[in-house]
């Protein structure tokens, strides 16, 4: 049985990369998609494409840093589709640079989006999931959430935080008997717009060369999200590390 058919899934960071690819993949398998990102034109185009193929999708311009925007997403899912079954917390930024570059504005942006954005999404959906005693929270961390490397210190810190938050959510939900499942995904060089956000020139060149050499399509991560969602309700696969076969990350 397709355990994705009919599920209502919220996706943040849905206007490109992993979020966009996941929206298409899950819609193909019968999920009803709630798209969220800051760029309305892209969201509308993706929703239109899903509906043109017979799928169901709605969207809302969303800044995950704002708690009220996350709350509105949950309300949109309920008003459009009557429920919410899963949320994929995928919005993220990677303006990496050495600490000595003192890009403190970018440090704060990463903390706001990569950490607070995830917490805001959890806060928005958790009361509903607890009340219905079911739900699935998925989040995009990074291989930077498993190891630290020079030039990516703050980004790594934010992605390690995602790992800790998601594991804590899994354990607390298990203890509470709320049946809330979690899945944390650690991509390596996967197609996205993350590299375009790097302003430090030397760091940008290094990342661009890395991605040009190894990058695999975002659909590969979408396949993993679909796998996690399709598991029986009594089974939680909590962590996935995914990257190019040829990348020795």
Q: Which of 80, 103, 91, 113 is nearest to 151 (CA)?
A: 103
Under 8 Å between Cβ of 58 and 83: no
Q: Between vectors from CA 139 to CA 135 and to CA 142, what angle results, nearest 5°?
A: 160
Under 8 Å CB-to-CB from 97, ≥6 apart: which residues?
103, 106, 151, 198, 199, 200, 203
Q: State yes or no: is 149 an active-site residue.
A: no
Structure tokens at 100: 């000595």
Under 8 Å CB-to-CB from 211, ≥6 apart: which residues?
189, 191, 195
User: Which phi and psi angles does 205 have, rounded to 5°?
Assistant: -60, -40
- Burial class, 129, CB count within 10 angstroms (exposed 0-12 / middle 13-18 / buried 19+): buried
Residue 161 and residue 170: Cα distance in Å, rounded? 14
Q: Which of 94, 116, 91 is nearest to 107 (CA)?
A: 94
Residue 88 and residue 86: Cα distance in Å, rounded? 7
Set 24, 59, 155, 211: catalytic member: 155
Residues with catalytic roles: 155
């Amino acid at each position: 049985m397709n355990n994705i058919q009919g599920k209502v899934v919220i996706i943040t960071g849905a206007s490109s990369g992993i979020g966009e690819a996941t929206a298409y993949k899950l819609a193909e398998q019968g999920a009803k998609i709630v798209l969220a990102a800051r760029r309305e034109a892209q969201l509308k185009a993706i929703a239109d494409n899903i509906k043109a193929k017979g799928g169901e999708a709605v969207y809302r311009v969303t800044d995950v840093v704002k708690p009220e925007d996350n709350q509105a997403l949950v309300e949109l899912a309920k008003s459009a589709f009557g429920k919410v079954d899963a949320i994929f917390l995928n919005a993220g930024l990677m303006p990496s640079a050495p600490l000595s570059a003192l890009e403190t504005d970018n440090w704060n942006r990463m903390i706001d989006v990569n950490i607070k954005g995830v917490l805001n999404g959890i806060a928005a959906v958790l009361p509903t999931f607890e009340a219905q005693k079911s739900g699935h929270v998925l989040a995009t961390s990074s291989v930077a959430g498993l190891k630290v490397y020079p030039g990516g210190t703050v980004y790594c810190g934010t992605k390690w935080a995602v790992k800790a938050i998601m594991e804590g959510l899994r354990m607390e939900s298990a203890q509470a008997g709320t049946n809330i499942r979690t899945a944390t995904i650690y991509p390596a060089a996967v197609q996205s717009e993350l590299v375009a956000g790097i302003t430090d020139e030397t760091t940008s060149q290094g990342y661009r060369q890395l991605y040009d050499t190894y990058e695999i399509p975002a659909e590969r991560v979408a396949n993993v999200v679909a796998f996690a969602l399709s598991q029986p309700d009594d089974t939680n696969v909590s962590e996935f590390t995914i990257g190019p076969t040829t990348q020795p990350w």
